[in-house]
Amino acid sequence: MASLELNDVRKSYGDTRVLDGVSLSVEAREFIAFLGPSGSGKSTLLRIIAGLETLDEGEVWLEGRRIDPLPPGARDVAMVFQHYALYPHMTVRENMAFGLRNARVPKAEIESRIAQAARVLEIEEQLDKKPGQMSGGQRQRVAIGRAIVKQPKLFLLDEPLSNLDAALRNRTRVELAQLRQRVDAALIMVTHDQAEAMTLADRMVVMNDRRIQQVGAPMDIYARPVNTFVARFVGSPAMTLAPGEIVPGTGRHARVRLAGGDEVETRVAREGLADGERVQLGLRPEHVAVTEPEGGIAAEAVLVERLGDRTLVYARLPDGLEVTAQDEGASRIRMGDRIGLRIDGAAAHIFGADGAGHHGEAAP
C-alpha cells in the first residue's frame, strides 16, 4: 500500500491557479524530491500535505486514512522549514520536547525520544544550548530532530539546505542521505537545487506550470526527459535544443538536418516522426566533443569553463545556435578559437513540435 496518495489536487488564490490536477503515489520509506522553478507549485503542494494550506479540490491520503480534512496536528506529518522555526528562548532539548509536551506524551517517553534523535543527528552535546549559540548547520539538525521525535508517518522538508553555505550544504546532504536509512517513514523534500534532488531522492517529481511534468528515478529523467521543459531544467549545463527537420528516408532511425545543413544520424526510432517534420535535436554536453575545425561542425568557442576533470566549451555555430560541448580537463581551447564539434548521434534526443521527447535505444 502506498504511504501517501494525492488525488487530483487543485488550488487557486483568487483567479490564479497554482495547482491544477496533481496526482501522485509515494511508497513507504521512499525519498521523493519535488523539483521545479519558483512558482511551479511545489511548496504549495507540500503545505497542502502538511495542512498549512487548504486544497480547493482533490484528496490527500496517508497510509489509508484521508487527512486533508484534518488539522495539521492530527495528520501524523512532521515538517522541517527552510528557516528552522526554532524558539530562541528555549534550549535544544526544550525545542525538541515542545510538541510532545503539547501532545501529552509521558515525560520518560519524551526524554527517550530526544536522546535517540540526538544520537542519530550527533547533537548530544548541544542539548542544553540555545539556538543563538549554534551554527546554521547545527540549528538545521535541531529542526530535523524536532521532526524525528514526533515519529511521524511522513517527513516534509521545505528547502532544508538553502540557508547553508556550500561546504555545509554538501556535508548536510550526506547526513540527510544517511538519515533516511534510519527513519521508518517516507520523506518528501522541496528543492530548486537539482544536485540535491538527484543525490538524495529515490524519485524526482519535476513540476512546472501548476502540474507534474515527469516522475521517475533521477537518472531515468536525465536520460529520458518527457518534454523540452524537463530536458532543459534537469541537467547542468542545460541540454542544447537545436532546431532541425527530419530527413526523408526509409531507415529504421531518424536523421536530423540542422539549420546550417549538417545532418545527424540518431538512434531514435523513425516511427512517429514524419518526413520533413520540424523538430529539436537534444544534446547533452557530454555527447558533443570538441575537435579540430575541419573535423566536425564548424563553430567558435565563445566561453571556456575549466572544471578540472573536464572543460565545458560554449560554442556558437555560424547560424547563431549556441551549443555546449565537453572537452578534456587539460583542454587548450580558448575563447575565440575556431573549433569543430562532433555530435554523438546515438545519444541524441528528438523533441517534436509539441515538445514531447523521443529517445534513442541507448537511453535506459
CATH of residue 286's domain is: 2.40.50.140
Q: Examine the domain organization and report whether 164 and 290 are in the same domain.
A: no
pLDDT digits (tens, 9 = 90+) for 5-41: 999 999 999 989 999 999 999 998 899 999 999 888 9
Q: pLDDT of 27-76, one tens digit each?
A: 988 999 999 998 889 989 999 999 999 999 999 999 999 999 999 988 98
- Per DSSP, the residues of 261-279 read S-EEEEEEESTT--TT-EE
Q: How confident is the model at residue 340 (pLDDT cuts 50, 70, 90)?
A: very high
What share of the chain has pLDDT > 90, as a percent? 52
Do 15 and 107 belong to one domain? yes
Name the H helices within 22-124.
Answer: 42-50, 92-102, 107-121
Q: How far does CA 178 lie from the centroid of its chain?
A: 18
Give the DSSP per-residue string, 130-159.
-GGGS-HHHHHHHHHHHHHTT--SEEEEES
- Is pLDDT of 1 > 80? no
Handedness of CA 291, 294, 298, 299 (dihedral sign): positive
pLDDT value of residue 266: 94
Number of neighbours of residue 299 by Cβ within 10 angstroms: 25
Q: What is the spatial distance between Cα 331 and Cα 278, in angstroms, rounded to a whole number? A: 35
Residue 295: domain span: 240-359
What is each CA distance from 258 to 207, 244, 245, 282, 292, in whole angstroms? Answer: 30, 4, 7, 12, 20
Shared-domain flag, residues 141 and 33:
yes
Task: Name every residue whose Cβ is closer than 8 Å to that of residue 343 and which is 6 or more positions away in sequence.
Answer: 264, 283, 287, 288, 296, 297
pLDDT tier at 163 (50, 70, 90 boundaries)? low
Q: Are residues 331 and 184 in the same domain?
A: no
Q: What is the distance between the alpha carbons of residues 31 and 26, in angstroms, rounded to a whole number?
A: 8
| Within a domain: 184 | yes
Q: Please check whether residue 233 lies inside any domain of the structure.
A: no
Q: Which of 188, 205, 227 is the last residue of a domain?
A: 227
In a domain, 282, yes or no: yes
Number of structural domains found in the chain: 2
Per-residue pLDDT band at 133 (split at 50, 70, 90): confident
Mean pLDDT of 178-185: 74
HSE (side-chain half, CA atoms, 13 Å) at 207: 31
* Boundary-marking domain end, from 194, 227, 260: 227
Judge contact between 294 and 339, C-beta under 8 A.
Answer: no
At residue 184, the pLDDT reads 77
Q: How many CB atoms lie within 10 A of CB 162?
A: 14
Residue 364 lies in a domain: no
Residue 145 lies in a domain: yes
Mean pLDDT score, 183-203: 87
